[in-house]
Amino acid sequence: MRPFSYARPDSLDGALAELAGNQGAPDASAAPVRPVAGGTNLLDLMKADVMRPTRLVDITRLALRGITETGDGGLRLGALSTNAETAWDERVRARYPLLHKAILAGASAQLRNMATNGGNILQRTRCYYFYDTATPCNKRAPGSGCGALTGVNRIHAILGASEHCIATHPSDMAVALAALDATVRVAGPGGERAIPFADFHRLPGDTPHRETTLRPEEVVTAIDLPADNLARHSTYLKARDRASYAFALVSAAVALELEDGVVRGARLALGGVAHKPWRDRDAEALLVGKAPGRAAFAAVADAVLRDAKGHGHNTFKIGLARSVIVRAFEEAAGLEPS
């Protein structure tokens, strides 16, 4: 771990003043001054010498904790509310059971007690090479190459990857947030702005070290969930290598709006397959107007995975994703096994 200085401001303004010096850094994750919330990802990466901030701004005293009504029927999740608090909040359970399930599918009870909502969506890839400083990795050391592309890539991306990086975003929570059309609220020197969840994470392209559209001088303050009618027919399904405490090989957050046996709206976000939670609105639209059923779900899966590409060890994920999508929709629609 490199030496760093530490500040613990009491106010958002104080925190923003600390972060002001980051302006011009290529990406928030690589900026010299880093907010620290639960620390469960940042500290690990600092110990592994992967992240090397020179200053940590402890934001846990900021008034960014709590889950409140948005006024238009939605919920606002404080950036500093823990994953556990969020998952077990009665309103979240009743109105966004998909989010409840997705959070609980991740990490362990101990980690969820520490991890915050802001930190969760900003957690970084679990790519083996990213963690091992003796190996090439464009994300960690731009220009050094991508070790995973021709190396061990069992856990890597099948969608939206580039020849520069095939890493995945590891969060479960973020997959649910993508499906729920959440908005990330951020504060910066110029005031507040809202980033639609779909625009929050980037694809790797030729700049895999640029991970989000959060500016290095900004702080995530909350995540807004809009009101919706998705609670009844939604689920989160996670396929992984062991029953708990493993990142998703493939996960799916799905939700259906059903009316008179016909789909009026459909949501599908995939985890474990791309550099960001993967949404494909064209594929979702295929379901609208149809009766829920295996064939219709399979057609969505085929559409989502049309351009999927494996890299060797991870090629099985394409078929697995197909099965997971179909199963998740079946469960959401309440269809029994045939």
Partner 1 sequence: MIPIPRMPGLLEGPTTQVGKPVSRVDGRLKVTGAARYAGEHAIPGLLHGYVVSSAIAKGRVTRIDTGKAMAVPGVVHILTHENRPDLAWLDRKWKDQDAPKGSPLRPLYDANVSHSLQPVALVVAESFEAARLAARLVEVAYEAEPHQTSLLMNRDITFTPGKDKGGFEPPPAPRGDADAALAAAEVSVDLEFTQAAEYHNPIEMHASTVEYHPDGSLTIHDKTQGVLNCQSWVCGVFNLPKSSVRVLSPFVGGAFGSGLRPQHQLFLAVLAALALKRSVRVELSRPQMFSFGHRPETWQRVALGASRDGTLTALVHEAVQESSQAENYVEIVVNWSGQQYRCDNVRLDYRLSRLDVHTPLDQRAPGAATGVPALEVAMDELAWKLGMDPIQLRLKNYAEADPNTGKPFSSKELRACFRQGAERFGWPDHLPPPRSMRDGRELVGWGMAAGVWDAMQNPASAKATLGANGKLSIATASSDIGTGTYTVLAQVAAEVLGLETADVAVEIGDSSLPQAPIQGGSWTVSSVGSAVKAACDQLAKRLHALARDAEGSPLAGVGSVRFADGHVVAQDDPSRRMPIQQVMRAAGLPVLEEKALSVPYALGRLRHTLGTHSAVFVEVRVDAELGTVRVTRVVSAIAAGRIINPKTAGSQILGAVVWGVGMALEEEAMTDHTLGRVMNHDLAEYHVPVSADIPDIDVVFVEEHDEVVNALGAKGVGEIGIVGVPAAISNAIFHATGVRVRDLPITVDKIRAGLAALP
Ligand X SMILES: Cc1cc2nc3c(=O)[nH]c(=O)nc-3n(C[C@H](O)[C@H](O)[C@H](O)COP(=O)(O)OP(=O)(O)OC[C@H]3O[C@@H](n4cnc5c(N)ncnc54)[C@H](O)[C@@H]3O)c2cc1C
Q: With binding defined as CB under 6 A, does residue 30 bind ligand SF4?
A: no
Q: With binding defined as CB under 6 A, does residue 167 bind ligand SF4?
A: yes
Rounded to an integer, what distance in angstroms lies between the CA atom of residue 295 and that of residue 164? 36
Contact with ligand X (CB under 6 A): which of 16, 22, 41, 130? 41
Question: Which amino acid is present at 312?
Answer: G
118 binds, among ligand X, partner 1, ligand SF4, none (CB under 5 to 8 A by kind): ligand X
Minimum CB–partner distance for residue 326 and ligand SF4 (Å): 28
Closer residue to ligand X in complex, CB, 37/333 = 37
Number of alpha carbons in the 13 Å side-chain half-sphere of residue 191: 2
Rounded to an integer, what distance in angstroms lies between the CA atom of residue 140 and that of residue 135? 10
Q: CA torsion angle for 168, 174, 178, 183 (degrees, to 10)?
A: -130
Q: Over the Cα atoms of the chain, what is R_g?
A: 19
130 binds, among ligand X, partner 1, ligand SF4, none (CB under 5 to 8 A by kind): ligand SF4
133 binds, among ligand SF4, partner 1, ligand X, none (CB under 5 to 8 A by kind): partner 1
3-state secondary structure of 183: strand
Tokens of 228: 């919706």
Contact with ligand SF4 (CB under 6 A): which of 95, 112, 139, 322? 139
Minimum CB–partner distance for residue 249 and ligand SF4 (Å): 16
CA nearest neighbour of 292 among 329, 253, 237: 329
Contact with ligand SF4 (CB under 6 A): which of 53, 170, 208, 277? 208
Angle formed by the axes of helices 294-304 and 316-333, nearest 10°: 140
Minimum CB–partner distance for residue 125 and ligand SF4 (Å): 5
Q: Report the site for ligand X in 196-235 (rule: CB under 6 A).
A: 219-220
Q: Mask of contacts with ligand X, 102-121, x by CB under 6 A?
A: ----xx---x--xxx-xxx-
